[in-house]
Chains A and B, each alone.
Chain A
Amino acid sequence: MNTNLKISNVTKIYPGCVANDNVSLEFNSGKIYALLGENGAGKSTLVKILSGVIIPDEGKIYLNENNLKLNSPLDAKKNDIGMVFQHFNLFETLSVFENLIIDSDEQRESVREKIDAIMKKYNFSIDLDIPVLNLSAGQKQKVEIIRCLIRSPKVLIMDEPTSVLTEQETSELFLSLKKFSEEGILIIYITHKLKEVMQLCDEVAVMRRGKLVSVSQIKNENIESLANKMVGQNLKNIKKKKAKISSDQLIKVTNLNFTSEDPFETNLVNINFSVNRGECFGIAGISGNGQSELFQVLSGEIISEKSSIEFNNNYIGDLSPQERREYLMAFSPEDRLEQAAIPQMKIFENVALNNFKSSNFFNNGLINENKIKEHSKKIISDFNVNTDNIELKSQFLSGGNLQKLIIGRELITSPDLLICFNPTWGLDVGAINYIHETLIKINEQNKSIILISTDTDELLKLSDKISVIHKGKLSKIMNADEVTSEKLGILMGGAN
C-alpha cells in the first residue's frame, strides 16, 4: 500500500527566531528522502513537529489525505510515524527488552516473539537482557529502530543517525534503510552530511534558516551543488599548502603505557611518536580504540611516567593540565559541552577558565572582569563566533560557535602545540571549513597540532603525518601523501 505524507504550510516561531517558515513538502513511500540543512536550519524542528514533540504554530500534516492532529509523541506513534532521534531516547539503566516493551500494551511474550522476528529478518544481533548502557552507539540505534519497527510504521524518520556511528555501522544502517524502503516504509533521512545523501537517498529537500530552499532528484545533483544550496554561498575549497617541515622536534612520546581499572576503557600499549614544529600529526581510528584515553594522557587529565612525554626538552608526563598549559600546550577536548566548557557559565567566564597564570585576567585573586570581557569580545570577532552577547550561557551556543570559541580561547597563550580531539564532530559545513582554516593557519605559524579524529577525510586534508590507533596501539607512522582513505580503513579495522 502506498503511503503519502504531506506537510502543508508549517510555521513555528520561537522568540527571536523563525524555526520553520511556511514549509510545505510531500513524500511518497518507496523512496528515501533526504532533509538537508546546516545546524539550526530548522530540519530538527520540522521532524519534531512530525513526531508530535513540538506543536506547530500554523500548518497541517496529512497522512494519506487524513489531517493528523499531532499533539504528543503518542499521537505520532498511533498514526504509524516512527522516529529515531539524534540523541537516543533510551533508558540507559533498563535492559534492552524493558526499553522495547515500555510503550507496548501487548503481553511480554508476544512482544518478545515480534522482536526476535525483526532481529532475524534484518540480521540484528543484540542481547535483549543486558542494560542499554553496555551497548555501543550503533547497537543503541538498532534498539531505537526495533522500537519503531515493532509498531510496523508507515513512516520512519531518522534524525542525523550517523553522527555517532563508525563507517561500518553506517553502511549496515544504509543497507537496513534500503530494505525498509523496499518494504514500503516511507523514509525521511535528516542530515547535514552530503556524502550520505548522495549515497543513500532518492530525493533531497534543502532547508536554510527555517525556509525550504529546494526539492530535487539526487540524480540531478552533486556534492558541490548541494553544499552551495545548503550554505547559500559558494564554499571555498580549502587545501593545505605543502610546507617544508622543520626538523626541530617539539614533543616526543616514548613508551607511553596506560592501564585502566575501568573495564569500559581501553588500555594504551607502548605508544611512541614525535611531532616537529609546524607539523600536524593525525591519529585516525574507530571511536573507542583508546583515543579518549590518549587525549587524556596527553592533556594531563591522566598522569603518566614523567619521562614518557618530552615537550620542548622538558619531561612533563607527570604534570597536570594546568602545568602543561604553562609550558604552552593547549587542548580542545572531544566533548565541547562537558569537558571543554561549562554549559551553565557565561561565555566570558568560560574564556577566563583555563588561563589562570599566563593571563592578566586575575589580580591578587580577584577577577578582572573588564579584561576578560575585552578579550572575549576579541575572540568572538576574530573567530567569527555568531553572537555579540558575551553574557550568554555557553549551553545556548551552537556546536560550531562553541567550538570556535574554545579554539579561540585555547589560542590566547599562542601555544606551541594544540591537541584537538574530534574538533569538527557534529558541526555543519560552514563551521567545519572555518575550523580547518584555523588549524592550517596554526601550522603556518610554525606551531604544531596533534589531531585525534574519527573523520578520515579531515585527517587526510590537514595532517602531515598520520598513524592509526587500534585497541590502544598506534600503527606505524606514515606520511600523509602516501596514505589513502582505503588504507586507513584497513588499518582502522586492525590489519597490518
Chain B
Amino acid sequence: MIIDINFIGLIIASIMASAVPLILASCGELITERSGVLNLGVEGMMIIGAISGFALMTVTGSLIIAIFGAMLAGVLISTIFAFLTQTLITNHVATGLALTIFGIGISAMIGKNFVGIPGKEFPILFEGLKDTIPLLGPILFGHSIVFYFAFALPFITSYFLKKTKIGLIVRAVGDSPESASNQGINVRLVRYACILYGGAMSGLAGAYLSMIYTPQWIENMTGGRGWIALALVVFSTWNPIKILIGAMIFGGLTIIQFHMQAIGVRIPVQFLTALPYIVTIIVLVVISRDSRKIRLSTPSSLGKSFHKDN
C-alpha cells in the first residue's frame, strides 16, 4: 500500500487541531494554578465559551465579536469563582466543581435555540501555501488564527513565567502567599487576575470547538476535554512545554484510534477509546518523574485559601 505523504501531513494536522482546545485551556489553568488557585471549573468555563461563541456568531454574524465574546464569557464566569474563593474564601475544590455543573447546565439552557443551526466558515490562513512543501505544507499552513495562537501559547507562557517580573510574582504568590503579602504584593489581586486569565483561555478553547473544530452547537460538546486539560496541567508538573507534548499525544491517540476503529482492527472499542487517556498519563508521568523538579515546580500553596489577617 502506498501512503500519500500529504495524507500523513493531513493526519498530523488533524491531530494538532484536536490538541488546540487542550493546549489553550491547560495553559490558562496553568497560570491560575501557578498562583496557587485550583480551579476545577475548566470544563464549565469551556462549555460556556463554546455556547457564547456560537450564539454570538449566529446572532451578530461577526466572528471577531464571537471570539472575544466567548473569552469575555469565560472571564465573567471565572469572576464568580474568583469572588467566591478569594473574597469570600470558599473552598477551591467545591467551588470549582460547582462552576462546572453550573456551566454545563446554563449552556444547555441557552443552547436550546441553537441546536441544529449550521456554523459559519472560519477564515483560514496561508491556504495557498499548503501544497508548496510536501508533508510540511499541510502541517504548517491552512489553519485558523486560533490554531497558530495555541501552538505559540506554551512558549509564551514559559517565557512569561521564567523571564518576566509579573511571571515571577505569580510564581511567588503560588509558592507562599504569606511571604508574598509580607513583601507587599497584593496576593488577592494577583490571584484574581490569574483566575480571570484562566477563564479567558478556557472560553477561547470552548469557542474553538464550537466555531472552528466542529462548527455547530451540540449539548455537552466539550465532552470532558476540560478535565483532560486539568489532568494535563498536573501530570505535566506545571510545565507549559510538557502540556504541549501531552496534548499532542492525547490528540494523536484520539485520532489514530478513530482510524483504527474505522479500519476494523480487532481490539475492543472500549479499550481503544480509553487508550488516549491511559497513554497520555503514563507518558507524562514518565517524563516528569524527577521528584526534585516536581517539588520545584509544584505551587506549594495550590488549592489553599489565603486569608490575610490583621
Contacts and interface: CB of A to CB of B under 8 A. Distances in A.
Contact of A91 (B165, B176, B181): B176
B175 interface: yes
A90 B181 CA distance: 11
Given A73-B183, A103-B183, A55 B310 contact: yes
B168 A92 contact: no
Q: For this complex, into which size category does the number of interface residues on chain B fall?
A: 20 to 34
Given A54-B310, A74-B184, A91-B179, A102 B169 contact: yes
B261 interface: no
Contacts of B168: 94, 98, 101-102
A133 interface: yes
Interface in B231-265: none
Contacts of A72: 184
Q: For this complex, into which size category does the number of interface residues on chain A fall?
A: 20 to 34
Interface SS of A by simple majority: loop
A133 B172 contact: no
B182 A89 contact: yes
B171 interface: yes
Given A55-B310, A101-B168, A103-B183, A91 B178 contact: no
A53 B182 contact: yes
B300 A93 contact: yes
Nearest to A87: B178
A51 B169 CA distance: 21
Interface in A20-77: 51, 53-55, 72-74, 77
Nearest to B167: A98
A162 B300 CA distance: 26
A131 B296 contact: yes
A103 B184 contact: yes
A54 B182 CA distance: 10
B303 to A, nearest CB: 16
B183 A92 contact: no
Contacts of A90: 176, 179
B95 interface: no
A85 interface: yes
B172 A89 contact: no
Nearest to A132: B175
B296 A85 contact: no
B182 A133 contact: no
A171 to B, nearest CB: 27
B295 interface: yes
Interface of A: 51, 53-55, 72-74, 77, 85, 88-94, 98, 101-103, 131, 133
Given A85-B182, A133-B296, 10 more contacts: A51-B182, A72-B184, A88-B179, A89-B176, A89-B183, A91-B172, A93-B295, A94-B175, A102-B168, A103-B184
Interface of B: 165, 168-169, 171-172, 175-176, 178-185, 295-298, 300, 310
